[in-house]
């Protein structure tokens, strides 16, 4: 996966648009117009703050179905993401919670979105939705059938879940990439707002062997300088909202501060990784 080709940077910041409850969800409010307006405001605020990409999630649809969502959710997401793509110039992706990778790929293919996030691509995870099984075989074949150029970013040992069995992180990363054919992997803490440990990020990066590794939760202005030492990119939500609260709207000032912090650490990393020039004496 070429991050520069998709995000125009080697170290992308992907901001999250958390959609208000969609049709058929437990807290659906009855107005799709309200959902669209809020989504457009948040996407615009993220873009204004300088993010390199946006991912749209049906976050407030909880409690989630564990795999296929209702067709009304797919329809609403397609409409909303298409509207967002017409507002911003950064790449837009989709996360169809809890684990409807097929639905996300279908939406992305139809509206030419650049990437999707898949919570469980390989293995089996015990979650609050029950047992969720990875469906890499179905997803990769479906992408081929659609002829879609859509990158798959896959969580490894995803948050709010526990693996069946006891795979270590290195094996889980390798399986996700080598057997699940993920284009990038995501490492999170144990829950929303909880960051992964630096040691785990370093292990994941070593196991990924060049496949991009993203921070998937808990990144903040305070910790991003350390976490980005062992990651290629970051997906961030709560820290970009007013007062850092998940239910609040996006704050463009917090976005700009976070993006600047990532830019500073990324610049330092690139300087350290670039070969030193040697001055030849005639």
Share of residues in the chain with pLDDT > 90 (%): 81
Strand bridging mode 13-18 / 53-57: parallel
Model confidence at 280: pLDDT above 50: no
> Could you write out the DSSP letters of every residue in 170-235?
HHHHHIIIIIT--SEEEE--SSTTPPPPHHHHHHHHHHHTTS-EEE-S---TTTHHHHGGG-SEEE
> Residue 17: beta bridge partners?
56
At residue 158, the pLDDT reads 81
Q: What is the pLDDT of residues 134-162, one digit of tens each?
A: 999 999 999 999 999 999 999 998 878 78
Is 278 in a helix, a strand, or coil?
A: coil
Residues 6+ apart with CB under 8 A from 250: 15, 17, 41, 42, 45, 46, 49, 240, 241, 242
Model confidence at 278: pLDDT above 50: no
Q: What is the pLDDT of residues 42-82, one digit of tens each?
A: 999 999 999 999 999 999 999 999 999 999 999 999 999 99
Q: What is the pLDDT of residues 208-261, one digit of tens each?
A: 999 999 999 999 989 999 999 999 999 999 999 998 898 999 999 999 999 999
- Evaluated on CA atoms 100, 163, 202, 217, the torsion sign reads positive
Question: The tokens of 1 are what?
Answer: 């996966």
- Say if residues 113 and 150 touch (Cβ distance below 8 Å): yes
Alpha carbons 200 and 168: distance in angstroms, whole number = 10
At residue 272, the pLDDT reads 66
Ordered domains of the chain (ranges, CATH)? 3-270 (3.20.20.70)
Model confidence at 277: pLDDT above 70: no
């Amino acid at each position: 996966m070429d991050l520069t080709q998709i995000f125009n940077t080697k170290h992308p910041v992907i901001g999250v648009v958390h959609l208000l409850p969609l049709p058929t969800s437990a807290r659906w409010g009855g107005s799709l117009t309200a959902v669209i307006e809020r989504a457009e405001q948040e996407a615009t605020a993220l873009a204004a703050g300088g993010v390199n990409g946006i991912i749209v999630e049906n976050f407030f649809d909880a409690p989630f179905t564990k795999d296929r969502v209702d067709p009304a959710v797919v329809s609403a997401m397609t409409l909303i993401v298409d509207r967002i793509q017409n507002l911003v110039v950064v790449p837009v992706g989709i996360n169809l919670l809890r684990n409807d990778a097929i639905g996300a790929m279908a939406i992305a293919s139809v509206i030419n979105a650049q990437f999707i996030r898949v919570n469980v691509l390989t293995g089996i995870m015990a979650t609050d939705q029950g047992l969720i099984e990875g469906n890499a075989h179905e997803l990769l074949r479906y992408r081929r059938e659609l002829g879609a150029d859509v990158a798959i970013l896959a969580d490894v040992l995803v948050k709010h879940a526990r693996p069946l069995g006891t795979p270590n992180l290195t094996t889980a990363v390798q399986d996700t990439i080598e057997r699940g054919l993920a284009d990038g992997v995501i490492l999170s803490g144990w829950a929303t707002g909880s960051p992964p440990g630096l040691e785990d990020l370093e292990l994941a990066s070593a196991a990924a062997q060049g496949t991009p590794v993203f921070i998937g939760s808990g990144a903040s202005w305070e910790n991003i300088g350390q976490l980005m030492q062992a990651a290629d990119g970051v997906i961030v939500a709560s820290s970009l909202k007013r007062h850092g609260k998940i239910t609040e709207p996006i704050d463009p000032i917090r976005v700009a501060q976070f993006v600047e912090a990532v830019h500073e650490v990324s610049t330092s990393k690139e300087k350290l990784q670039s070969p030193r020039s040697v001055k030849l004496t005639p």
